[in-house]
Structure 1
Amino acid sequence: MICIYGLKNCDSCRKAIKWLSSNNIEYKFFNLKDNILSKSTLMEWINVHSLEKIINKKSTTWRNLDDASKNQLDTNAVNIIIDFPSLMKRPIWELNTKPHNELDPGFQDRHQNFIKKLV
């Protein structure tokens, strides 16, 4: 089972959902605004993908984040992300409830190619 974590108004998430639906691929979508992530889930994502791949430093949320939080990111990333889930690149992918190193955050051709091999 493919699980997608993202925001329902995120263009990349909408594209991923549309692509999955049009290819008849079963998935579950978790809206990060409605579902609070657990610290263990975030730690697992960071361990698999790295903090640099998880955080979207081009986002408005990042630009509006106070300097103290930005400076604490290396030591307090999980709590900051829980407070500001839109800091993450989206969508975040899981296969069978686990992150997969081939499916890093985002939605590009390589994501589609990898998923097509699974189904």
Structure 2
Amino acid sequence: MRFFGLKTCDTCRKSLKALAENGHAPEVIDVRADGLTDADRSAILAAFGDAAINRASTTWRGLSDVEKAMPPAEVLALHPTLMKRPVIEHEGRLYLGWKKDVQDALLG
């Protein structure tokens, strides 16, 4: 299991705690500190498309119109913290966010 998120994100911390309590020990990739590989970014965008971009974030609001018009892969390459989080890879499948459907799938 791999976990893409931010150490400072409350939702990420909450989901990591729940995963640990249910016997999971994911490899944590902090997208701010560690970044995203091209392969991981491509996989996330292939799975979720534009939904992978957090357009409600302060980072998004601070972008220029030119940056906002860029393809999602380029925007995430420049600003990996714009990714909605967490993204969890488990048994070959990617999950976005920490809503009930993701919790049910990963926690049982």
TM-score (norm 1): 0.82
Q: CA deviation at 1:114?
A: 0.3
Aligned to 1:39: 38
CA distance 1:58–1:16, change in 2 (3 Å): same
Q: CA deviation at 1:26?
A: 2.1
Q: CA deviation at 1:36?
A: 2.3
Is structure 2 residue 45 aligned with structure 1 residue 50? no
Aligned to 2:89: 94
Q: CA deviation at 1:99?
A: 4.1
> 1:89 & 1:37 partners in 2: Cα distance?
13
Q: CA deviation at 1:56?
A: 0.6
Q: CA deviation at 1:106?
A: 0.9
Residue 109 of structure 1 aligns with an amino acid whose one-letter code is K
Is structure 2 residue 82 aligned with structure 1 residue 84? no
Aligned length: 108
Contact 1:46 / 1:54 at 8 angstroms: preserved in 2? yes
> 1:116 & 1:35 partners in 2: Cα distance?
26
Contact 1:3 / 1:29 at 8 angstroms: preserved in 2? yes
Q: Secondary structure in 2 aligned to 1:107?
A: coil
Residue 44 of structure 1 aligns with an amino acid whose one-letter code is A
Identity %: 29
CA RMSD of aligned residues (A): 1.5
Aligned to 1:3: 2
